[in-house]
Amino acid sequence: MMAMVKYSAYLLTNPASPRSQLCTLPSIHNLQHTNQPSMSSLKPLHISSAHNFALPPELRRRVTACQAYEADRSRPLELNIELSDEEAGTETTQRLKIGLYFATWWALNVVFNIYNKKVLNAFPYPWLISTLSLAAGSLMMLISWATRVADVPKLNLEFWKALFPVAVAHTIGHVAATVSMSKVAVSFTHIIKSGEPAFSVLVSRFLLGEAFPVPVYLSLLPIIGGCALAAVTELNFNMIGFMGAMISNLAFVFRNIFSKKGMKGMSVSGMNYYACLSILSLLILTPFAIAVEGPKLWAAGWQTALSQIGPNFVWWVAAQSVFYHLYNQVSYMSLDQISPLTFSIGNTMKRISVIVSSILIFHTPIQPVNALGAAIAILGTFLYSQAKQ
């Protein structure tokens, strides 16, 4: 049997190469029934001379020459990179998809706030309304998982442990915002909630020790000043409503902090993430809602609302519960497609649409100074989103 040896001419003919003394042979098997002396593949092959393996001189003289030149800097560099029709179509489709997410997010949020305020005006029990919102979303997702409309997430105990503090903060923020809207106008609640970036910076700075650039701190001035101006000039000011919006801001800041720290490495889609958050928040909120308000108050208030509104009241409750889950779910789904900066800008524009639509629909009385404060606060929120990035 003959063994074939593969070699590099450069390595074998170059004495300075450290690899010129070694050559690797494949394993040799089945050497029985041969007159050749047996060879062991476990022993290295030592070559004393590489001259017999050298290429002929005429081949070694064929050297490829590489030359470099300096570009003419007097001429501008022209790069005409054109995307193919398929790539351009993919980019256009992605933009349309993001635009559809934003339009759906804003529309669902406006509809939710309208029905939520209608329900709270007729049935002023925010703890039960908050519970029904979470229950509707949890039921919708359980049905989606059971029918395989949505992919069932693969979760473990570590995921639920990391999600628990997020769910606690989400529950507090959700209830506080609902309490606020039961006491004051929707527009006033969202003006105060536009100050959430100020809470985020202050909590991160003094509790977490995180420093920010100077423009971020400067962007807080119009946010705080605008919210203060809007609150002072609010015709229907209520301390419970004001404090509810402020507590909601603080709770959602902690929700975001817990989510960033605890959910790292958890590969769950935005839709399933919010579904699990709703289920866990529902379990946390239900006993507190029963303790604070209770079935007796709910039954009496339900009968009063039905006598005043009629069967449409049931539709209002169902609509506000379903639309609450849908707008939050779309917002979490949009996070999978866009950057945090784009999301912050979208969230700012969402508040503008909610404030304007609620003023028009509910004919909320508003003074020019109050409108100016709202505009300054929202402008500060926009500047914050730019400076943060």
| Residue 84, pLDDT score | 57
Integer Cα distance of 115 and 323 in angstroms: 9
For residue 382, count other CB atoms closer than 10 A to its CB.
19
Integer Cα distance of 360 and 255 in angstroms: 32
| Residue 265, pLDDT score | 65
Looking at residue 45, the DSSP 8-state letter turns out to be: E
- How far is the first Cα of the chain from the last one, in angstroms, to the nearest whole number? 70
pTM passes above 0.75: no
| Residue 85, pLDDT score | 58
Contact 352, 378 (CB under 8 A): yes
Contact 262, 162 (CB under 8 A): yes
- Partnered with residue 22 across adjacent β-strands are 46
Q: What is the pLDDT of residues 220-237, one digit of tens each?
A: 899 899 999 988 888 778
Contacts 24+ apart (CB under 8 A), 236-242: 236/184, 236/185, 236/188, 236/364, 236/365, 237/184, 237/188, 238/183, 238/184, 240/179, 240/180, 240/183, 241/179, 241/180, 241/181, 241/182, 241/183, 241/184, 241/188, 241/189, 242/180, 242/184, 242/192
| Residue 262, pLDDT score | 66
Could you give the 3-state DSSP secondary structure of residue 337? coil
Contact 38, 46 (CB under 8 A): no
Integer Cα distance of 197 and 331 in angstroms: 18
Could you give the 3-state DSSP secondary structure of residue 293? coil
For 106, residues 6+ apart whose C-beta sits below 8 A from its C-beta are 346, 349, 350, 353
Which amino acid makes up residue 370? Answer: N
Q: Which residue ranges in the chain fall short of pLDDT 50?
A: 1-42, 66, 68-80
Integer Cα distance of 388 and 213 in angstroms: 8
Contact 112, 327 (CB under 8 A): yes
Integer Cα distance of 159 and 319 in angstroms: 31
Q: What is the pLDDT of residues 267-313, one digit of tens each?
A: 787 788 899 999 999 999 999 999 999 999 999 999 999 999 999 99
**Which tokens is 32 given?**
């029985």
